[in-house]
Structure 1
Amino acid sequence: MSGRRILVTGATGGLGHALVREALVRGHSVVATGRSRDAGEALAGMGAEFAPLDLSDQSAPLASLIEGCDGVIHAAALSASWGRRRDFVAANVTMTRKLLDVAAASGVQRFVFVSSPSIFACHRDRLSIGESDIPERPLNFYAQTKLAAERLVLAPRGDAMACCAIRPRALVGAGDRVVLPRLAELAQRARMPLPGGGVALVELTDLRDAAWAICEAEERAPALCGHAINISGGRPVAVRDLAMRLAESLGTRPKLVAVPIGLARLLAATLEGIARATGSRKEPVLTRYTLATLGWSQTFNHEPAQRLLGYQPRYDAVDSLLDEASKLARAGGSA
């Protein structure tokens, strides 16, 4: 089905940009909203209708933004590993609830929520994670509020709006302003600490593959009601191997230092405790969440994505990360 009108929130981020491009390629008209006017000009140049807006603003005109839209792809969020709980609740839960209510009142037919695999993070290896394999308590406020928002979206409804969620893992490629900058900062140090020696497995996802899956979910939403589908590039790689290849692409030579898991857990807990006690807004050098993503394996069961979406990764996400790293090195190394 093509020729419909779709609202994409968070459109000025890396994933949002990829989503707008994918939706336009599919023949939809796109209303793109975000806070960056410069990025918005680029989206308008692609053919989208850009509406500069901060959705967390209580006076944001959501009804006029959604008016005439057939579908909503909600990618806007406060995405960070550290911060105040009330900020995450406002940006991730309250904003999602308002958008859901306005979308339903406006007659929107499809609502796709961009959730997060951060809800799975914990201090143990987890392989072939399924849709409902969620720990009792996610590790940080971001994960807690994304899960709460996801449950709002997936709750049974009394109207005709079809709602589902996609959880894309570790997004990389052109437009990534999260994963590569953080890894590049580590790779530029003289020593790169690797919890547990870096043997944990990670799965990256190319932004283009994630955008395809999310837009495909919007197409198939009536058949996906209540589903949250895990998405990744499907090619696990050890943290240590990824670190070595990334350093090579960046032209750096950090010394990889194995840090015992027990010591890393103690350090993360101590640093978080100090930050909370002092009211620091700055993220500690090591948090329990960061440790969970680097110290323990996390891979997805891809069967549901294949069955429900027909999803198969088209791009090697590791190659995409390394290509962008090489570009960064040629540009002088500023992420």
Structure 2
Amino acid sequence: MILVTGATGILGRVIVLELLKRGKKVRATKRESSNIDEVLESYRFYTDQADHFFCQIEWVNVDFQDLESLENALLGITDVYHCAAHVSFHPNDRRAMYHTNIEGTRRLLNACEGSTVQKFCFVSSTAVLDGVDEKGEVTEDSNYNPKLDHSPYARSKHFSEMEVWRAS
């Protein structure tokens, strides 16, 4: 079974749908306050079988502050797509982004230790990429330059990436 965090978000919900279309069993995380009806409505733009696919999702409330909540979500999981993140470019959201993006990723990775998880896919952001190649393009080979000024969101995603590197 596959776990997708951030399954009510823009990217997470599409990943869930694509996995379901491929016949995969999916457990999807959400906050207790999430409106999953919005996910169903968005599926209507992608498929004529929105209800069919939506009914196959095993929804689970997860609190990234609670290790037991994360461990329970990971029961029987072999693959994780970690899409959950706090996205904002407002400077006042810096603490929330650091807490959610860095600490939440660290807690999820710690919960994966000793679990049945075999693969972990982390969704980052192009906001962390700096510099251009010889063609003047930014690519995934572009490095994060800590000497440049970055938004709090970019820093939070960079340090989240570092948590994934640490765990790997």
Q: TM-score range by the shorter chain?
A: 0.7 to 0.9
| Percent identity between the two aligned chains | 33
Determine whether 1:152 maps to 2:163: yes
Which residue of structure 1 aligns with residue 18 of structure 2?
Answer: 22
Q: 5+ residue gaps in structure 2? A: 44-52
Kept in 2: contact 1:40–1:50 (CA 8 A): no
Could you say which structure has the higher strand fraction? 1
Determine helix, strand or coil for the equivalent of 2:137: strand
Contact 1:138 1:144 in 2 (8 A): no
Deviation at 1:59, TM superposition (A): 6.4
Give structure 1 regions of 4+ aligned residues with deviation exceeding 6 angstroms.
none
- Show structure 1 runs of 5+ residues with no match: 158-335
User: 1:73, 1:111 within 8 Å by CA — same for their partners in 2?
Assistant: yes
User: Are the counterparts in 1 of residues 4 and 80 from structure 2 also a CA contact under 8 Å?
Assistant: yes
Give the aligned residue type for 1:135.
Answer: N
Q: CA deviation at 1:127?
A: 1.4
* Separation in structure 2 between the aligned mates of residue 153 and residue 54 of structure 1, nearest angstrom: 19
Return closer, same or farther for 1:152/1:127 CA change in 2, 3 Å cut-off. Answer: same
Contact 1:93 1:149 in 2 (8 A): yes
Q: Please name the residue that 1:135 is paired with.
A: 145
Aligned pair partner of 1:51 in 60, 80, 87: 60
Which runs of structure 2 are paired with 1:64-79 in the superposition (5 Å)? 64-79=72-87
Kindly report the root-mean-square deviation, in angstroms, between the aligned alpha carbons of the 2 structures.
Answer: 2.5
For normalisation by structure 2, the TM-score amounts to 0.77
Q: Tell me how far apart the structure 2 counterparts of residues 126 and 101 of structure 1 sit (CA, whole Å).
A: 39
1:38 aligns with 2:14: no
Q: CA deviation at 1:132?
A: 3.8
For the pair 1:62 / 2:70, whether they are aligned, the reply is yes
AA matched with 1:141: P
Give the match's secondary structure for 2:112. helix
Q: Shift of the alpha carbon at 1:121? A: 5.7
Q: For each residue in 1:212-247, what CA deviation from the matched residue of structure 2 results, as whole angstroms up to 9, or x when unmatched?
A: xxxxxxxxxxxxxxxxxxxxxxxxxxxxxxxxxxxx
Secondary structure in structure 2 of the residue aligned to 1:16: helix
TM-score by length of 1: 0.41
**Amino acid across the alignment from 1:75:** C
Deviation at 1:126, TM superposition (A): 4.8
Please tell me the residue identity of whatever aligns with 1:37: N
Please state how far the C-alpha of 1:141 moved relative to its aligned partner: 0.9
Q: Distance in 2 between matches of 1:12 and 1:60?
A: 21
Per-residue deviation, 1:41: 7.2
By relative contact order (CA 8 Å, sep 6+), the higher-ranking structure is 2
Structure 2 residue identity aligned to 1:149: S
Cα drift, residue 154 of structure 1? 2.3
Pairing of 1:1-335 with structure 2 (within 5 A): 5-35=1-31, 36-39=34-37, 42=40, 45-55=54-64, 57-58=65-66, 61-82=69-90, 83-120=92-129, 126-136=136-146, 137=148, 139-155=150-166, 157=168
Distance across 2 between alignment mates of 1:40 and 1:66:
24
Q: Helix, strand or coil: the match of 1:81?
A: coil
Q: 1:69 to 1:96 in 2, by over 3 A?
A: same
Shift of 1:120: 2.2
Separation (CA, whole Å) in 2 of partners of 1:112 and 1:138: 27
Contact kept in structure 1, 2:82 and 2:122, CA below 8 Å: yes
Does the aligned pair in 2 maintain the 1:53–1:60 contact within 8 Å?
A: no
For the pair shown, the structure with the greater C-alpha radius of gyration is 1
